[in-house]
Amino acid sequence: MEAKSIQRRHGDEMNQLLELVRAVGKESGGPSRTVYPRPGDRLDQDLGIDSLARAELIMRCEREFQVNLPESAVQAETPEQLLDAVIKAGATPRRLPRKEPQYAPSAKEPGGNPEQARTLLEALDWHAQQHPQRTHLYIYGDKEEPEQLTYGELDRRASEVAAGLRERGIGADDTVALMLPTSRDYFVSFIGILLAGAVPVPLYPPARPTQLEEHLRRHGRILTNAGARVLVTVPQARRIAQLLKAEAPELECVITADRLAQLPGGRPGLNRRTDDLAMLQYTSGSTGDPKGISLAHKHLLANIRAIGGRIEATSEDFFVSWLPLYHDMGLIGAWFGSLYFGCPLAIMSPLAFLAHPLQWLWTIHRHRATLSASPNFGYELCVRAARSGALEGMDLSSWRIAFNGAESVSPATLDRFYATFRANGLRWETLMPVYGLAEAAVGLTISRPGRGPWVDAIHREVFTRSGEAQPAAENDPNPLHFVSCGPPLDGYEVRVVDTNDRELPERRQGAIQFCGPSATSGYYRNRRLNADLFHGTWLDSGDLGYLAKGELFVTGRIKDMIIRAGRNVYPHEVEQAVGEIEGVRKGCVAVFASPEEDTGIERLVIVAETHEQDPDRRQLMERQIMERVTELTDIPPDDVRLPPAHSVLKTSSGKIRRRATCELYANNRLGKPSRSVWWQIARLSASVAGARLSQHLKGTKETLYAGYAWSVFGLIALPTWLAVIVLPRRRWRWAVSRSALRTVAKLLGIPIEVAGLENLPNDRRVVFVANHASYIDPLVLTAALPRNVRFLAKQELRSSFFARVLLERLGTLMVERFDSQRARQEADRAEQVLCAGDSLAFFPEGTFTRAPGVRRFHLGAFQVAARARTPLIPVALSGTRSVLRGTEWFPRRLHLRVSVGRPIEPHGDDWQEIIRLRDEARTFIVFGSGEPDLIED
């Protein structure tokens, strides 16, 4: 009755609104019946208006009706409900963005960070003691002015929640689920759970009130896996508490934050330990195995400190966020990071962002914010929302870091966002693609501030066939583009491995693994998944990528990559291209490989949702999809399906579930209810069998090569060692060694390219300095240099009889690395060797690790060259780390390059001259090796 009354009294407005719905539905590939949408049609199921199209509809409504709609308008399910929101909003004056900044942090305000804190609670306690009146949070809701929450008030209110939990028997290590929207209650409840000694379990709230019952039912698996005894949630959920308890038997209480805080809260003692569990971060589990990532206080603080150190965070920064608080990027990165470093956080809800994307940027303007973050789609949505006049007066010049992570980063989006907002003060170097995952807390690789994105253009044909990320030529008409996510954070390591966990060289695609101080201890109560997560000390990210110059490029998910006709096809790239075709529902395309039942050959399948019913139009769409995919990949799809809306399955966060959609396709169930989980798992196992066999054969080939390499080396090493022992002259010993090593390289198919030999001065002693990346570095130098040199080697090698005898016969100087007195004596001995006419070869880094990069140089070599007035020759080695990396003993066949630099003449032996020699040599070596400078300012 109420809806009909609205229609009678506001018939013209309803017609206007329906026209907007029709236009947006048509542009987004909506169904044919959106030509005549009806007031009671459901925006999503009937009219094909998805979340992004809904945001566009909200923006058009505001312009058409000159109103500011509240964020709750995003939850409208029909045009009737949306018109009701428009009418109510019309009763209040339309708000315009403030042009003048407000709430900018003052440099006079106290700041700092709790460096000695061992837990999140100790970090909050430090701030509450140091500056209780300092504003910690600016919480934006429907009102123009934000609600402010100080450190002292957060601490006090959280203590009241903790008292309420303890009154209900909640204590140490109990789990408490938290399902609240972005609000004061969320922050207070989270800290209150920790103060009670319990473990918070953040869950995402339902997108719409009508979905509450279904939403809670689907969370039963997570609540059961976590063993949650209490659920803190919205008042509406209490009416179905008994139903929820049936889904999660251990759940004792469903309660609101207000009811928990009715008891006076005495501040409990801070008796939590750094190893205690601080939270469970669930990344999935509503329909499958729950993946609750266990994160202790030490994990969170280690990651926060590493990120803050990399981006140079201080209490003078200001963070603005719209990210959901159940996601690691919004919870840990935005809130915990701001809490620790003492920088204010202005936060708005995800629904508010979807309703008004530009309000995010206006909030950055308003607070003169320096830090903010978003997945790629958020930046794209702002570009789409930007209209003439909408940006007038906006100033983004204070923004120094715009994190872009949590999903694939599009180079095109980076370009569009910068082009759209650079007139508003946005700088290119502000944009910072990053990579992280909940298993590492939040962040793993981040660039240093001030550089801007590095977009790598690579040869498409080579990459899709072999996985080698070969840089594309400048005139390449169709390269692939991947964006660097930066180098690993300090204290973390990243490696790329093949299917047998053997580390791959740079610019070779493989599985990304990591280790570091915030690596999770595992999935909560799920041993089966833990077995797949850990690979010794390394954790599997589930992603594919490659390394270049020590930086990580993420290329896709392992489970999603398609191998067909010897070529790799990346679903996300194809899905994005198909989604641009008229009539296809954007964001509702799935690309996967499905094996034929008779032959087992994988077929490339495109599933694109559409509401189009006209046979001629559908036929045209199929032809356009075939042409677009073939143009992009050089592989025509074997099958194109155009099912109705909601046929392509998605996760709760909107990501395409390709494997599950593939199962529906294989069983001819697209658009129908999906079968049971066990059936999907069984079908999945069969679909990946072919790919695993191919990977196994490749690994076997590499294993055979490694065995061959060691056999060749062993057969030549023994007679060479004997020859070195018996030959009376050192130059003869060197000639035999050099010849043997060149023979080994030739037999193993490892070419050694040497450049710059013309720089060597004739018949003159020199000091060579080279980067150190592998055990084979001295062997490569011996094979490459045409003159005899005397290496400096660590004293520990004397413990091996064969190594000691060989090195002594070749004139190697054994040095002590850890005794400063002995080190000075050996430096004098090295200078005497030079004065006697021999050349020396140093590795000034002293040692090497598996991770790429040129490390700090010790000054001994440069001091010896300066004091002896001997030319210094820098030598850059490239490729040795990938042939034999770190402490691994699995050689690979790759190209090696040795670059010999021009002599650097010393002009004295004072401190400044020694530093000059080091810096000039280092500049050449960093450039020639192609590895990052790890002490670069």
Any idea how long the chain is?
937
Cβ atoms 525, 225 nearer than 8 A: yes
**How high is the pLDDT of residue 695?**
52
pLDDT tens digits for range 360-387: 999 999 999 999 999 888 898 898 888 7
Q: Which two tokens stand for residue 249?
A: 């038997």
The β-bridge partners of 480 are 458
Highest mean pLDDT among 304-318, 809-823, 900-914 belongs to: 304-318
Interstrand relation of 510-515 and 538-548 (parallel, antiparallel or unpaired): antiparallel
Instruction: Write down the CATH superfamily of domain 708-929.
Output: Glycerol-3-phosphate (1)-acyltransferase (3.40.1130.10)
**pLDDT reading at 795 higher than 70:** no
Q: Which helix (H) or strand (E) holds 878?
A: strand 872-878
Residue 327 DSSP class: S
Which residues have a Cβ under 8 Å from the Cβ of 223 and sit 6 or more positions away?
177, 201, 231, 244, 247, 248, 250, 251
**How high is the pLDDT of residue 609?**
93
User: Which of the residue ranges 450-464, 629-643, 862-876 would you say has the lowest mean pLDDT?
Assistant: 629-643
How do the domains of the chain map onto residue ranges?
2-90, 151-282, 455-555, 562-675, 708-929
- What percent of the chain shows pLDDT beyond 70? 83
| The two domains 455-555 and 708-929 share their CATH topology (first three levels equal) | no
Q: What is the dihedral of CA 801, 770, 866, 794, to 10 degrees?
A: -20
CA distance 240 to 250: 16
**How high is the pLDDT of residue 110?**
55
Other CB atoms within a 10 A radius of the CB of residue 915 amount to 12
Task: Report whether CATH 1.10.1200.10 matches the domain 2-90.
Answer: yes
**pLDDT reading at 752 higher than 60:** yes
Q: What is the mean pLDDT of residues 846-857?
A: 82
Provide the whole-model pTM.
Answer: 0.73
- DSSP assignments along 539-550, one per residue: EEEEEEEEEETT
**pLDDT reading at 595 higher than 80:** no
Considering only CA atoms, which of 556, 561, 624, 627 is closest in space to residue 593?
561
- What percent of the chain shows pLDDT beyond 90? 28
Q: What is the mean pLDDT of residues 613-620?
A: 88
Q: Which helix (H) or strand (E) holds 482?
A: strand 480-483
Other CB atoms within a 10 A radius of the CB of residue 614 amount to 11
Radius of gyration of the chain (CA): 32
Instruction: Write down the CATH superfamily of domain 562-675.
Output: ANL, C-terminal domain (3.30.300.30)
Average model confidence (pLDDT) across the chain: 82
Q: In terms of pLDDT, which residue wins out, 240 or 416?
A: 416
Cβ atoms 622, 655 nearer than 8 A: no
The β-bridge partners of 673 are none
Considering only CA atoms, which of 504, 493, 462 is closest in space to residue 479?
462
Ranges assigned E (strand) in 364-418:
371-374, 401-404
Q: What is the mean pLDDT of residues 94-110?
A: 56
Helix orientation angle between 411-421 and 376-385, rounded to the nearest 10 degrees:
40
Q: In which residue are the tokens 């280690």 written?
A: 302
CA distance 304 to 328: 12
CA distance 516 to 802: 37
Per-residue confidence band for 652, with pLDDT thresholds at 50, 70 and 90? low
pLDDT tens digits for range 1-46: 444 444 455 677 888 888 888 888 776 555 544 567 888 887 865 6
Q: What is the mean pLDDT of residues 879-905?
A: 84
Cβ atoms 551, 485 nearer than 8 A: yes
**How high is the pLDDT of residue 192?**
93
**How high is the pLDDT of residue 787?**
81
Which long-range contacts link 648-655 to residues 24+ away (Cβ below 8 Å)? 648/588, 648/589, 648/590, 648/607, 648/609, 649/590, 649/674, 651/284, 652/204, 652/286, 653/327, 654/51, 654/587, 655/407
pLDDT tens digits for range 521-578: 999 888 888 888 988 899 999 889 999 988 999 988 776 667 555 456 778 778 988 9
CA distance 43 to 51: 10
Q: What is the mean pLDDT of residues 276-287?
A: 74
Domain 455-555 carries which CATH code?
A: 2.30.38.10
Q: What is the mean pLDDT of residues 474-496?
A: 92
Ranges assigned E (strand) in 11-169:
135-139, 147-150
Residue 332 DSSP class: I
CA distance 869 to 199: 66
Q: In terms of pLDDT, which residue wins out, 203 or 807?
A: 203
Cβ atoms 558, 544 nearer than 8 A: yes
The β-bridge partners of 543 are 557
Task: Report whether CATH 3.40.50.980 matches the domain 151-282.
Answer: yes
